[in-house]
Amino acid sequence: DAKTTQPPSMDCAEGRAANLPCNHSTISGNEYVYWYRQIHSQGPQYIIHGLKNNETNEMASLIITEDRKSSTLILPHATLRDTAVYYCIVGMYSGGGADGLTFGKGTHLIIQP
Amino acid sequence: DAGVTQSPTHLIKTRGQQVTLRCSPKSGHDTVSWYQQALGQGPQFIFQYYEEEERQRGNFPDRFSGHQFPNYSSELNVNALLLGDSALYLCASSSEGWDGEQYFGPGTRLTVT
């Protein structure tokens, strides 16, 4: 079973910041938080990942609480192309390439024009 | 760089038959993971291959088997197909150098009738 809890759906206005929450209260010390998204009929796309510190890349920012029990993915300026299902995943890295991921049902983010 | 490629894109089989799906990883990647995604659900991890060995396995029966070739490409085999095996089968690749990202292919849509 997935180790994360996400709202099933969210709306956001185009051009505004989209903030997607995720609860992972049972996360262990060596588990990472990953975010992927899946646009309809395509394979999932990696967004960002982190262990303890906040992370930022060209797509998004990841804010992890100090106790690591929750996190927020931030898309700073949402566009219509950001409409997708967003998955928050907790998992380990044990070497030899990223471990198999346990996906939940994710959050369906709808960007409104 | 072609990214992760999968073949075929669509496939229709009859209950009881066997099927083989193929995946070529992103250039430079040596680890291949397979996922099953039923309609309306998140992807479920089947297994992962690294150095031609099954390294991790999810909660799938032995009817699901795989292989990795010396060029890192991989096959997923499913025997004795059931109606419930109808799904999108996704392949993802990553590298031992791991940047936290698994690259997913577009998937193979399998329909079992």
Residue at token pair 């698994």: B102
What are A21's strand-pairing partners?
A72
CA–CA dist A84, A92 (Å, integer)? 25
Residue A68, amino acid: R
**What average pLDDT does the segment B56-81 reach?**
96
Tens digits of per-residue pLDDT, B69-107?
Answer: 999 999 999 999 999 999 999 999 998 766 678 899 999
For an interface test with A, which of B26, B49, B50, B101 has the most A Cβ atoms less than 10 Å from its Cβ? B101
Q: Do A43 and B92 touch (CB under 8 A)?
A: yes
Q: How far apart are CA A108 and CA A10, in angstroms?
A: 6
Residues of chain A with C-beta less than 8 angstroms from the C-beta of B54: none
| Chain B residues 2-61 with CB within 8 Å of chain A | 4, 29-31, 33, 35, 41-45, 47-48, 50-51, 55-56, 58
Write down how long chain B is: 113
Q: Are B83 and B15 in contact (CB under 8 A)?
A: yes
Look at residue B2 in the predicted model and tell me its pLDDT: 75
pLDDT at A1: 61
Helix, coil or strand: residue A12: strand
Looking at residue A40, what DSSP letter applies? Answer: T
CA distance B8 to B109: 8
Helix (H, G, I), strand (E, B) or coil at A95: coil
Say yes or no for a CB contact (<8 Å) between A46 and B100.
yes
Give the mean pLDDT of A22-50: 92
CB B25 within 8 A of CB B90: no
Asked if the model's pLDDT at residue A53 lies above 60, the reply is yes
> Which amino acid is present at A30?
N
Average pLDDT over residues A80-104: 84
The tokens for B109 are 């849509």
pLDDT above 60 for B22:
yes
B104/A43 touch (CB, cutoff 8 Å), yes or no: yes
Say yes or no: B96 contacts chain A, CB-CB below 8 A: yes
The string of pLDDT tens digits covering residues A54-71 is 999 999 999 999 999 999
- List of chain B residues whose C-beta atoms are within 8 Å of the C-beta of residue A93: 98, 100
pLDDT at position A94:
64
A11-15, B1-5, B19-23, B80-84: least confidently modelled range: B1-5
Q: Per-residue pLDDT for A97 more than 60?
A: no
Query: What's the average model confidence in pLDDT over B32-50?
Result: 94
